[in-house]
Amino acid sequence: MALLALYTICLAVGILVGGTGMGGILIPPALVLLSGLKTHAAMATTLASFIPMNVLGCYLFHRLGHIHWRQALPFTLGGALAAGPAALFNVHLHASFLNILLALLVLFAAFSSFKPPVQKSQGPSFWLTPKGLGVIGMVTGTMAGITGAGGPLLAIAWMVPCGMPPLAAVGLTMPYSLATALTASWANWLNGNVDGPMLLRVSGLELAGFICGVFAVSHMPVLWVRRLMAVTCAILGLFLLVRSLFLPI
């Protein structure tokens, strides 16, 4: 029963990631509670499981016209540069404080997302410029490397309230997540934290759900997608906060 529950969660997370770019933070605690993996192995296996989804996501969102590569490059580069070193230090850090901070930031961004983005007369927000996106990539890549998830969640919750269209934000997280997952997984392999057999099962189920999520959201009105992402942010932020305060892994 425990493994059935785990596999159901993995499938649901794939749907969430395909539709909103978020949901990966549910996997590490599910692996710890339902599969018996230790904390660092769960985080490392989670990050590695995202690689197949992100490869397919880059292809699908590019075909749908939702990846703007001039924005994706600094964002992805910032995340890749930060995730690997952060993952190397993962075994020496306790992520509870960082998870609490991440949860509070995501909750703030979720409630901000319910409001229409402010259109500034002088041009786009700094955070949507190449320099701003590079900073977002580095900050969220650091969190992804340390906690095993949370990078795309915080990045989308950061970019959408600043005025980025929801599907463009999801599209940007695909090459970003691929780069951070690859660099952090390399460090995690060196640390011996990735569970190979569990990785194959988890990534396969995530991939199946991901395909369903991508095609569902591509047929939804933009306002619905924005509200769906805001609600998802709020739920995941609350989950992360409660988990960090009462059920630390």
Give me the pLDDT at residue 231, please: 86
Model confidence pLDDT, tens digit, residues 189-223:
888 889 999 999 999 999 999 999 999 888 888 77
Nearest to 26 by CA among 223, 205, 166: 205
Q: What is the pLDDT of residues 153-177, one digit of tens each?
A: 889 888 988 889 888 999 999 999 8
How many other C-beta atoms are found inside a 10 Å radius of the C-beta of residue 231?
Answer: 14
Sign for the pseudo-dihedral over CA of 27, 28, 33, 34: positive
pLDDT of residue 60: 94
Domain ranges of the chain: 2-246
pLDDT at site 206: 96
- Residues 207, 11: Cα–Cα separation, whole Å: 8
Average pLDDT over residues 87-111: 70
Identify the weakest region by mean pLDDT among 167-171, 189-193, 230-234, 244-248. Answer: 244-248
Q: Report the pLDDT value the prediction gives residue 122, as an integer from 0 to 100.
A: 56
| Residue bearing the bigger pLDDT, 116 or 48 | 48
pLDDT band at 88 (very low <50, low <70, confident <90, very high): confident
> CA 165, CA 89: separation in Å to the nearest integer?
34
pLDDT attached to residue 113: 66
Q: Mean pLDDT, to the nearest integer, of 123-142?
A: 88
pLDDT on residue 87: 75
pLDDT confidence bin for 180, thresholds 50/70/90: confident
Q: Could you give the C-alpha distances from 94 to 53, 98, 217, in angstroms and in order?
A: 28, 8, 36
Q: pTM surpassing 0.85? A: no
Q: Flag whether pLDDT at 235 surpasses 80.
A: yes
Mean pLDDT score of the chain, rounded to an integer? 84
pLDDT at 74 over 90: yes
Q: What is the pLDDT of residue 149?
A: 63
d(CA 234, CA 152): 14
Q: What is the pLDDT of residue 17?
A: 92
Q: Is it the case that residue 234 has pLDDT exceeding 90?
A: no
pLDDT for res 90: 60
With a pLDDT cut of 70, the percent of the chain lying above it is 87
Give yes or no for residue 120 having a pLDDT over 70: no
Average of per-residue pLDDT across 18-30: 86
